[in-house]
Amino acid sequence: MYLAYFDESGDSGQLPNSPSRFFVLACILIHEEAWLANLNKMIKLRRQIRDRYGVRVRAEIKAAHIKKGRGPLAGLAFAPERRARMFEFLIRYQNAQLDLTAFAIAIDKAKLAGTSPDRDPRDVAWQYGVQRVDSFCRHTHTRAILFPDRGHAYFIRRLVRQLRRHQIIPGHFGGSLKVNADCIVEDPNDRESHESYFIQLADWNAYAAHRSMHVDPSAPGYEGAWDTLGGSLLLDVNKLTGGPPGIVLYPR
């Protein structure tokens, strides 16, 4: 069994009223047998952050806090360059120390409005996210349960129930295929981000993917963080369509 933790970056609203062109959904997959070891290493990481940067172990650290020097970083007077190095350290730690798999979905809202103006970016991102988790489980002969950040439980639960019973996907060589997402176990279990280190981890990854050189590199100092995930990236998410490493970029 895999535990799939999700969080988002960017606004899902329609352009031009939205401040963000991209809506990004990130997922980290942790096998149940590696969960406790990963948790212990996350606690170790937070103690390192406390000792190195003075941020309390129990404080919630969001990517936006690091970028803007807010939340638990408020009052520490870190220069922007130091906060960017801190963020890259957090992302790099995953690949060096944690046993997990990561991927992201990046929806280009400008292009989506041109091709499918009635589709909601969040709906598209979550559909692709659930599909990728289900496909991963099929290839690894296992199951997964989803843990999204709290706030959209009803929408995600409805989508998962629908995809589990009726999912039609376009075939890569034409036509369509009925592939129900039956590797997803139970309804999604949403979590408060301040109560879950792994939801916070997904938040960091969502921002890293969003501001990467592959999507929207508009935050100097953060554009290379995503690629430091290295071997932790799930490259199969776009092996047929192509695109950035570990990122489904849609539409292309």
pLDDT in tens, 191-242: 999 999 999 999 999 999 999 999 999 999 999 999 999 999 999 999 888 8
Higher per-residue confidence, 162 vs 14:
162
Question: What integer pLDDT is reported at residue 251 of this predicted model?
Answer: 93
Confidence of residue 112 (pLDDT cuts 50, 70, 90): very high
Q: Decide if pLDDT at 24 tops 80.
A: yes
Q: Decide if pLDDT at 178 tops 70.
A: no
Q: Are 228 and 87 in contact (CB under 8 A)?
A: no
Question: What integer pLDDT is reported at residue 250 of this predicted model?
Answer: 94
Cα distance between residue 66 and residue 74, in whole Å = 9
Residue in this structure with the two tokens 């990517």, named with its chain if needed? 63
Q: Is 50 exposed, middle or buried (0-12, 13-18, 19+ CB in 10 A)?
A: middle
Domains and CATH numbers, the chain: 2-250 (3.30.420.10)
Q: Could you tell me which residues come within 8 angstroms of residue 198 by beta carbon, excluding any fewer than 6 positions away? A: 3, 5, 28, 30, 38, 39, 42, 147
Q: Are 162 and 180 in contact (CB under 8 A)?
A: no
Q: Quick one: which of 135, 113, 138 has its CA closest to 124?
A: 113
CA 84 vs CA 17, 57, 92, 106: distances in Å: 28, 19, 12, 22
Cα distance between residue 210 and residue 224, in whole Å = 11
Question: What integer pLDDT is reported at residue 101 of this predicted model?
Answer: 98
Question: What integer pLDDT is reported at residue 179 of this predicted model?
Answer: 60
Condensed to tens digits (0 to 9), the pLDDT of residues 113-156 reads 888 888 899 999 999 999 999 999 999 999 999 999 988 788 89
Higher per-residue confidence, 13 vs 42:
42
DSSP state of 194: G
Question: What integer pLDDT is reported at residue 14 of this predicted model?
Answer: 79
Condensed to tens digits (0 to 9), the pLDDT of residues 49-79 reads 999 889 999 999 999 999 999 999 998 889 9
**What is the sign, positive or negative, of the torsion defined by CA atoms of 44, 226, 65, 195?**
negative
Residue 236: strand, helix, or coil? helix
Q: Can you list the positions of beta strands (E) in 18-93? A: 22-31
Confidence of residue 172 (pLDDT cuts 50, 70, 90): low
Residue in this structure with the two tokens 């290839």, named with its chain if needed? 139
Q: What's the token pair of residue 116?
A: 């499918």
Condensed to tens digits (0 to 9), the pLDDT of residues 7-17 reads 999 888 777 77
Q: Quick one: which of 98, 101, 103, 102 has its CA closest to 38?
A: 98
